[in-house]
Structure 1
Amino acid sequence: MAADLGLSPPPQKEEKRMKRIRFTPLFFRRVHKWVGLVLGIQFLLWSLSGAMMAFVDMEDVRAQPPVFSHPIVAEGLLDPDQLGLGKLAGSIRLHMSDGRPIYEIAENGVVRLLDGRSGDAIVVDEALIRQRAGLIDGAPVRSVSLLDAANLEAREFDGPMWRVDFNDAENTSAYFSADTGQFLVARGDGWRLWDFFWMLHNMDYMNRTSFNHPLIIAVAFGVLFLSGTGFYLLFKSFNRRDFKWLKRTSPMKSKPPLTSAG
């Protein structure tokens, strides 16, 4: 009857009440143990990845196919005023490529290529990329693909680009700008191996760019927490009985000498 009137809660509801977290030394010891395990595993990954990065041959990491530069041939070159460009909002650049002078025109964020002799527009297509790829690597071309955006191998560049895969010992991939056809960078298996361990080392599993990202900041706070709880548990794990051996025992009192009677 009392339970029906709401005078006292049922026993089952009493058992289901949320227990309050008690910040006791046992609680901190358990959290300290698991945080230490996670950080210990990460420390092993740091050590292993750093050692492997040191063992990878840096010549393979920095290896780039040669890029040939040619002097500009002025014979038959059209003056920029003859191209009918009008008032340019950007810039104009002249360079040699494929044995011909090419005007690279940046206007309102759009890049165009014009033949320096005829003024005809140059389209950066697969045929042009294959021709330029043959100038920087003597290996046969395995495949050519157009990327809408940079992948992890060419992450320091922006915009769409062409990827050319070569059939060589390093499985080299060269990247060219989709706007200008300019060679950007080349990556091989040596660089890919180094980049994998670099990812493990800086814990940037998405972008692989730097050490400044939320995950490693969280690990830094975990190390701070581990240090604080360890310092706290240092005082909670000892008592006076553990240091009894440090106390000096008092010297034994000397007994008075025995005297003979009479």
Structure 2
Amino acid sequence: MKSGSLLWQRRLRVWHRRLAIITAVQLLLWTVSGVYFAFIDIKEVRGEPHRLALPTQAIDLSQFDLPVTATSQLTVKPRLKGELVVGVVDSKTGATNWLTPQGEPVEPLTSEQAISVVWDKTDIAADVTEWVTTASEAAEYRGRQLPLWRAYDVDEPSLRVYVDPRSGDIVAIRNTAWRAWDFLWMLHIMDYDDRDDIGTWLLKLFSLLALLTAIAGIVLYVLIPRRASSKA
């Protein structure tokens, strides 16, 4: 009976060791990424300190002539100095169409206008723009509607601003802290493609393996002291 118990403990140790080897690297990555997430300021990651507080602006509604219905959702905002644009939400698709106050589709911002928007709405002295029309799964502007203007200071190309050419919104500010966060988030959730799926089969598998490793370790911790005390 005693030899059977020792054999069972020996087998449990072997399986615990194997599980620990398999999960050790991922457990380390979870720990490292978790420490980073806990200590980094999320506002810094999102680039919020670079955004400028915009002054409130009185709007004269008499200048608007829009083809909308009573159920239409409207958003009015300044795009450039002295220019207002109106976002009309399509009730069927949920997409926002940006119009002039007279109801005409807005013209996309030019490169110079995009730089002006960045200067007006952030503290980033952008002087270079790039027209972004294609998306990749791990792009730092993923989830945003294309096309976009990417703007940055030639002396600090790692700090990038993404501007919606229709609304003039700053849709994203990307910096080194964000890229570190994004990389560690990819390792944390084990989604190596688009980095947004928190339900990957790899994450589920390694979560179960880590749980089994912990349970096996607790069982061994409980059994070994009893064995030692029985010899005393």
TM normalised by structure 2 equals 0.67
Q: 1:166 aligns with which of 131, 148, 152?
A: 152
1:135 alignment counterpart: 120
- SS at structure 2 position matched to 1:171: strand
Flag structure 1 segments of 5+ consecutive residues without an equivalent.
Answer: 1-23, 247-262
Q: Which has the higher helix share?
A: 2
Alpha-carbon deviation of 1:135? Answer: 1.8
CA deviation vs aligned residue, 1:49-100 (integer Å, no higher than 9, x gap): 333445546563243232424403429x5243xx4x2657743332222112
Q: 1:66 aligns with which of 51, 54, 61?
A: 51
Bigger shift: residues 190-199 or 220-229: 220-229
Give aligned pairs, total: 216
CA deviation vs aligned residue, 1:102-132 (integer Å, no higher than 9, x gap): 222234545433332x554321244443332
For 2:148 and 2:103, the matched residues in 1 are separated by 24
% same residue: 20
Amino acid at match of 1:189: T
Distance 1:69 1:121, change over 3 A: farther
- SS at structure 2 position matched to 1:153: coil
Alpha-carbon deviation of 1:37? Answer: 0.5
The alignment status of 1:186 with 2:173, answered yes or no, reads yes
The alignment status of 1:177 with 2:164, answered yes or no, reads yes
Alpha-carbon deviation of 1:162? Answer: 0.9
Greater relative CO, 1 or 2 (CA 8 Å, sep 6+)? 2
2:77 alignment counterpart: 95
The alignment status of 1:123 with 2:107, answered yes or no, reads yes
The alignment status of 1:112 with 2:97, answered yes or no, reads yes
Distance 1:212 1:61, change over 3 A: same
1:145 alignment counterpart: 131
Amino acid at match of 1:40: A
For 1:228 and 1:190, the matched residues in 2 are separated by 36
For 2:15 and 2:84, the matched residues in 1 are separated by 68
Alpha-carbon deviation of 1:34? Answer: 2.5
For 1:189 and 1:159, the matched residues in 2 are separated by 23
Structure possessing the higher radius of gyration over alpha carbons: 1
TM normalised by structure 1 equals 0.61
For 1:102 and 1:244, the matched residues in 2 are separated by 81
For 1:101 and 1:236, the matched residues in 2 are separated by 73
For 1:86 and 1:202, the matched residues in 2 are separated by 43
